[in-house]
A and B are shown apart, each in its own frame.
Chain A
Amino acid sequence: MREGAQAVAKLVITLAVMVFFLFPVYWLVTTAFKPGSDWFRWPPMIIPQALTLDNFTGGGSGIYGGGGGTTAIENIVPYLRNSVVVALGTALISTFVAALAGYAISRFKIGGMPFVSWIISVRMLPPIAAALPLYVTFRLLHLLDTWWALILVHLTFTTPFAVWVLISFFNEIPRELDEAAFVDGATPFATFWRVVLPLSAPGLAAMMTLSFVQSWGEFLLALILTSTARAQTLPIYLGRYITGFRVAWGPLAAAGLVTMLPVVVFSLLMQRYLLRGLTFGAVKG
């Protein structure tokens, strides 16, 4: 009996804690579907009475009807495109570069401890510190406001992290397999490509997802290095609308929902592998 009561108590506390962690998400999601008349209401509408898709389609007449571009998210498309290109590009390149380096470090101990320490310290570099010099440099190279500017800078924080996690993934693939391939006359690169890479597919997929997520949500560098719809990403699109005194919450929440959706879907799908990456590879005894 005592155990039953304890289980109930645990569940009640868990639910209470969950309210704190999930309510902001709930509020964002419901606001995205509320009609204009319900964004500003006292008492606030905890449970929405009417649902609409106007915030997504831009059909709402609302208080902010017409002009200003704040009622609709229809002009979101170029930003969505930029985000997809930049995040995918970053994810693919960083995983490829990190896999090569991770394999070299795992098998041949290239650079050893000092090299790995350096890689980790790059990951810890505050983005703002690199932003100023990179702005000046990219201006000279005519890279400002391009996809490449963002892909390149995003690589600086996604790649070190991927290297770091992939080393331990590769360490777990039995060395005998490589050696067998060597004996059969394969070059190190062929061994890597044909033997090790296929075996570490889950790790690579996880790192690709995590790189994608990090690049997708990155704000500071995108803010400084891009200036138009040619290359600006979704977070910048959202940031523009937050400054007014009264913001059109519905469309903004809708755009926020679009921005977080891929991240949420990915992270739930890849959860098992992400946990390992997110916990920094640190839990390995």
Chain B
Amino acid sequence: MILPLVALLVGLSAYPFVYMLYMSAHTYNLAQWTPPRYVGTANFVQMARDSTMRASLVFTGLMAGIALPVELLLGLGLALLLRGVVGERVWRSLLLLPMMIPAVVAGIAWKMLYNFEFGPVNYALSKFGLERISWLGDFTAARIGLIIIDIWQWTPFVFLVLYAGLQNVPRDLVESATVDGAGGWAVTRFIELPFLAPLIWVVLIVRLIDILKLFDIVYMTTFGGPGSATHPLSFYIYKVGVSFGWDVGYGSALSMLLLAVITLLTNVLIRILHIDRLLELERA
């Protein structure tokens, strides 16, 4: 009964992986009529000297360093805030929207909001007497602009996981603490937060992996620009491997780097989740 799954995954993920491993040691360009040529580690040497590649690491670092903590705090705050508020269920449903809407559609919405001449964001700034900002055209502003979009789109995910986690905090634990005279904040600080700790780790790693895969929003808003301000690694691989000339060899080498990082993160994730216990895999 697992045969269809295994066939599917081997054919469509294990095979591409092996192919990529092979190609990363070759020069191969689909736009030229020459067969792949073995070049050893040349692609990786090129990578070490590649300034666009370094810019993409910087941008990824910024996303992870700024967007991630904000999402975590905001998501946690929302999870605590929304408990018992008037209309709790309605707000919770509406908060699903940013993460469910196809990224391409979200891109259209934000492109309109960030519009230099007519966008509501610059209009809001003007209300505070501030200058218009070229949100997608200025080096720093474009980076901040994308970070804001990421926060908008993925804080709801953090919220949902932590909100669901809070529902699972054993009631009797909270009650006995309250009886012992603990106030609302003490309950949160000493009982609920420790209970959420593993979930916070899960969220962090899942989001890190997502940030490394960032593509759709970048394509729809900045297209990596201006210059190489907003090139996440995935987008750079797309440019190298597809849109700027089908350089499959170098694209594969870049993919190897991306895969290495993601594999590392995934393994940490699997450890933290304790999937053997979670899925009751150990034989009874």
Tell me, in angstroms, the Cα distance from A234 to B191 when the chains sit together: 47
A18–B161 CB distance below 8 A: no
B204 cross-chain contacts in A, Cβ below 8 A: none
Instruction: For chain A, residues 234 to 285, give those with C-beta under 8 angstroms from any C-beta of chain B.
Output: 234-235, 238-239, 242-243, 247, 249, 252-253, 256, 259-260, 263-264, 267-268, 271, 274-275, 278-285
B266 cross-chain contacts in A, Cβ below 8 A: 120-121, 124
Q: Identify 26 residue pairs between A and B in the complex whose beta-carbon atoms are under 8 Å apart, listed by A's number.
A: A18-B94, A23-B113, A24-B152, A44-B119, A105-B279, A109-B283, A113-B281, A116-B279, A117-B275, A131-B242, A132-B242, A133-B15, A133-B23, A159-B5, A171-B279, A219-B219, A220-B215, A238-B105, A239-B104, A242-B220, A247-B111, A259-B104, A263-B101, A264-B100, A279-B160, A282-B199
B267 cross-chain contacts in A, Cβ below 8 A: 121
Tell me, in angstroms, the Cα distance from A1 to B262 when the chains sit together: 52
A119 cross-chain contacts in B, Cβ below 8 A: 5, 9
Q: Pick the residue among A106, A136, A279 that contacts B161 (CB under 8 A).
A: A279
A223 cross-chain contacts in B, Cβ below 8 A: 219
A137 cross-chain contacts in B, Cβ below 8 A: 15-16, 19
Bitwise interface map of B from 97 to 110 toward A, beta carbon under 8 Å scored 1, else 0: 11111111111111
Given the contacts A24-B106, A25-B101, A280-B202, A44 and B19 also touching, CB distance less than 8 Å:
no
- Which of A8-16, A51-59, A64-72, A199-207 lines the interface with chain B? A8-16
A274 cross-chain contacts in B, Cβ below 8 A: 96
Residue of B nearest to A276 (CB): B164
B117 cross-chain contacts in A, Cβ below 8 A: 40, 42
Binding site for B on A (CB under 8 A): 7, 10-11, 13-14, 17-18, 20-25, 27-28, 31, 39-44, 46, 97-98, 100-101, 103-106, 109-113, 115-122, 124-137, 152-153, 155-156, 159-160, 163-164, 167-168, 171, 188-189, 192, 213, 216-217, 219-220, 223-224, 234-235, 238-239, 242-243, 247, 249, 252-253, 256, 259-260, 263-264, 267-268, 271, 274-275, 278-285
The smallest beta-carbon distance between B41 and chain A, in angstroms, is 19
Interface residues on B, range: 35 or more
Residue of A nearest to B213 (CB): A126
A247 cross-chain contacts in B, Cβ below 8 A: 111
B255–A132 CB distance below 8 A: yes
A282–B100 CB distance below 8 A: no
Q: Is B252's beta carbon under 8 Å from chain A?
A: yes
Q: Pick the residue among B95, B100, B199, B269 that contacts A213 (CB under 8 A).
A: B100
B152–A249 CB distance below 8 A: no
B106–A97 CB distance below 8 A: no
A-B pairs with lowest CB-CB distance, top 6: A217-B102, A133-B16, A133-B19, A101-B5, A129-B255, A235-B104
A253 cross-chain contacts in B, Cβ below 8 A: 108-109, 112
Given the contacts A130-B13, A133-B15, A104 and B2 also touching, CB distance less than 8 Å:
yes
B30 cross-chain contacts in A, Cβ below 8 A: 135-136
Tell me, in angstroms, the Cα distance from A126 to B168 when the chains sit together: 32
Interface of A: prevailing SS: helix
A267 cross-chain contacts in B, Cβ below 8 A: 96, 100
The smallest beta-carbon distance between B55 and chain A, in angstroms, is 17
B9–A219 CB distance below 8 A: no
B19 cross-chain contacts in A, Cβ below 8 A: 133, 136-137
Tell me, in angstroms, the Cα distance from A35 to B202 when the chains sit together: 46
Tell me, in angstroms, the Cα distance from A7 to B15 when the chains sit together: 57
A282–B202 CB distance below 8 A: yes
Instruction: For chain B, residues 185 to 242, give those with C-beta under 8 angstroms from any C-beta of chain A.
Output: 199, 202, 206, 209, 212-213, 215-216, 219-220, 223, 234, 237-238, 241-242
Q: Pick the residue among A111, A268, A282 that contacts B96 (CB under 8 A).
A: A268
- Which of B42-50, B58-66, B80-88, B139-147 lines the interface with chain A? B80-88
A11–B86 CB distance below 8 A: yes
B40 cross-chain contacts in A, Cβ below 8 A: none
The smallest beta-carbon distance between B251 and chain A, in angstroms, is 5
A278 cross-chain contacts in B, Cβ below 8 A: 99, 157, 160-161
Tell me, in angstroms, the Cα distance from A263 to B96 when the chains sit together: 11
Given the contacts A7-B85, A279-B161, A28 and B120 also touching, CB distance less than 8 Å:
no
